[in-house]
Structure 1
């Protein structure tokens, strides 16, 4: 019988894989564009949903400042919560995605949230992260303890100093020693990682507490005031290279960001006023300090060289001086006054 006789050739009986591929392309809507939704709210930030692995949208989003949010399982812009939507970036990404054949919908809700809501949401997010890290630390510590017990069990029946003998018994002893050593090393690695994760939790708590201190809030107020002045200059066209005020999407973004900063400034100033009323902040100024005073800054006593409008210059013992903000002063000793007039620590 000639070769190939008795069964149809490739043109008569397509391979099963090619049949499946053809059926896939024949599905209704397969060739329709994938719909990607880019949204922005002050509660969730800027997110892009609707992508699939390997569809090519990730490269476009990455080029426009998006990154993969593993916890949310979608693309997003980092640090975009409670901030003005980056309209130019969002629209540029949407245009490039449409040019690549994707369907894109955008939705922007730029309504700022009040100060208390923002602070509460930040605390809840930090608590959630700390809880997840603490759980991981506990799992690592439990696994490390289990490996230590296994290592002890593997060599617990081997007499100390007993040499390995030839034969199956000796081979078993050697394997037990090797497995015990590997388990011990792995237990040490996991224990170290568990301690590192626990330290991350403690550091997160310390950072959150430091952000609530009056001196940190005062520095944040100064920074936000500078940002607000920059926004005002951009909206008015002052200091711009072409002398023209911001317009279009840029102007919309700056206007919303100005609202966000105004809300943050009002809340921070209210906190500073409460701290000042309690005597924990704002008692030292250029008017009640003079050269020669001893200032307690960061736990050390420093001699004041001169008070400045927003900072103090203190002696270092060398040819230069160090500068600190008034909010960093916790106590003052004035050699011109009686010891009973010494400033109280805040």
Structure 2
């Protein structure tokens, strides 16, 4: 498919713009930036109007509005047209600029890794600040409580009673604050660990193989929509009781499908290159499922097991820990054919790694 690039400028039907006049807002999409709106000002109602379309738009510190998780994806043209219509109804002139060309897949992966590491670092800093604030609140509680250290009760009729009651209330408030801050610090530390896990998983061959399988499934679905298809619905006896006919995609929907197909194909090609590198360096299995037979040994999740059954997309294995485990093909890490003369019913407990 050829790269799809559109640059259009549209105004409200009842307005005619001078060609030299700049639009109030620029609504666009690129792979590098995602779907954005540039030109909005705080309090102009643009963000509320965009969120009124059912999409959770957000704003950067620089005032650029954007759709989360729209970077390095094909433009969602229906959402973009919805946003343009909502903005024009507010009286703004809007320029719509869409570039559906995907970025280099290697650069996309590198940017995701860098973003995950930056997120983990930022969350580590936030967790440290929250923990320090919690410790400070506890220190304040300890300092205030010194007046009650000897078990001195509050003398209700004494002149010191009002201050004692205030100190007691401050201790309760600071204790609650310390607990809340400590819980926030713990949650933030978990989020930092999750970001580090995300960064590490980008180079994991099993994660890569799983993503490749998902992309291939999506591409087959796009091919069916582009070509059209007929689906036969059968009952329990194999008799057809309904037929669903899907016509080939047309117009804007076809354009969007072609753009998404282009993005997915670029990702798949790069993923195959990375997986081939894992295979060459011995970090991933490079065989084919056709070579696996019942009784063979396979390694999944760093655990060896005996193959019981080979299905089109999964295998069933018996391991020393559990029998009848079903694993998808992309989780196979290694394979050893059953030696000639061995009993096909050998158990995984006799397997060595």
Q: TM-score range by the shorter chain?
A: 0.7 to 0.9
Q: Does the 8 Å CA contact 1:68/1:74 hold for their aligned counterparts?
A: no
- Match for 2:261 among 258, 268, 272? 258
After TM superposition, give the deviation of residue 210 of structure 1 in Å: 2.3
1:295, 1:35 → 2: CA distance? 62
Residue 162 of structure 1 corresponds to 152
Q: Does 1:199 align with 2:190?
A: yes
Q: Does 1:120 align with 2:125?
A: no
Q: Where in structure 2 are there 5+ consecutive unaligned residues?
A: 1-21, 232-243, 343-349
Q: 1:69-218 alignment to 2 at 5 Å?
A: 69-72=58-61, 73-165=63-155, 166-218=157-209
Q: Does 1:66 align with 2:55?
A: yes
Q: Does the 8 Å CA contact 1:83/1:260 hold for their aligned counterparts?
A: yes
After TM superposition, give the deviation of residue 205 of structure 1 in Å: 0.8
Q: Does the 8 Å CA contact 1:305/1:314 hold for their aligned counterparts?
A: yes
Q: Does the 8 Å CA contact 2:29/2:35 hold for their aligned counterparts?
A: yes
After TM superposition, give the deviation of residue 313 of structure 1 in Å: 1.4
- Relative contact order higher in (CA < 8 Å, ≥ 6 apart): 2
After TM superposition, give the deviation of residue 79 of structure 1 in Å: 1.9
Structure 1 window deviating more from structure 2 (162-171 vs 79-88): it is 162-171
Q: CA RMSD in A?
A: 3.3
Q: Does the 8 Å CA contact 2:59/2:66 hold for their aligned counterparts?
A: no
2:43, 2:174 → 1: CA distance? 39
Taking a change above 3 Å as real, the CA distance of residues 230 and 306 of structure 1, as seen in their structure-2 partners, is: same
TM-score, reference length from structure 2: 0.75
TM-score, reference length from structure 1: 0.77
> 1:276 is paired with a residue of what secondary structure?
helix
- Match for 2:223 among 225, 232, 238? 232
Greater strand share, 1 or 2? 2
Q: Does the 8 Å CA contact 2:284/2:334 hold for their aligned counterparts?
A: no
Residue 25 of structure 1 corresponds to none
Q: Does the 8 Å CA contact 2:135/2:178 hold for their aligned counterparts?
A: yes
Aligned residue-pair number: 310
After TM superposition, the runs of 4+ consecutive aligned structure 1 residues lying more than 6 A away are: 342-345
Taking a change above 3 Å as real, the CA distance of residues 88 and 278 of structure 1, as seen in their structure-2 partners, is: same
After TM superposition, give the deviation of residue 157 of structure 1 in Å: 4.0
1:64, 1:170 → 2: CA distance? 58
Q: Where in structure 1 are there 5+ consecutive unaligned residues?
A: 1-32
Q: 1:278-293 alignment to 2 at 5 Å?
A: 278-283=281-286, 285-293=288-296
Structure 1 window deviating more from structure 2 (279-288 vs 177-186): it is 279-288
> 1:126 is paired with a residue of what secondary structure?
helix
Deviation string for 1:112-171 (max 9, x for gaps)? 111111012212322333333223222211211111111111122434222222312233
After TM superposition, give the deviation of residue 283 of structure 1 in Å: 4.6
Q: Does 1:49 align with 2:52?
A: no
Q: Does the 8 Å CA contact 1:233/1:239 hold for their aligned counterparts?
A: no
After TM superposition, give the deviation of residue 65 of structure 1 in Å: 4.6
Residue 15 of structure 2 corresponds to none
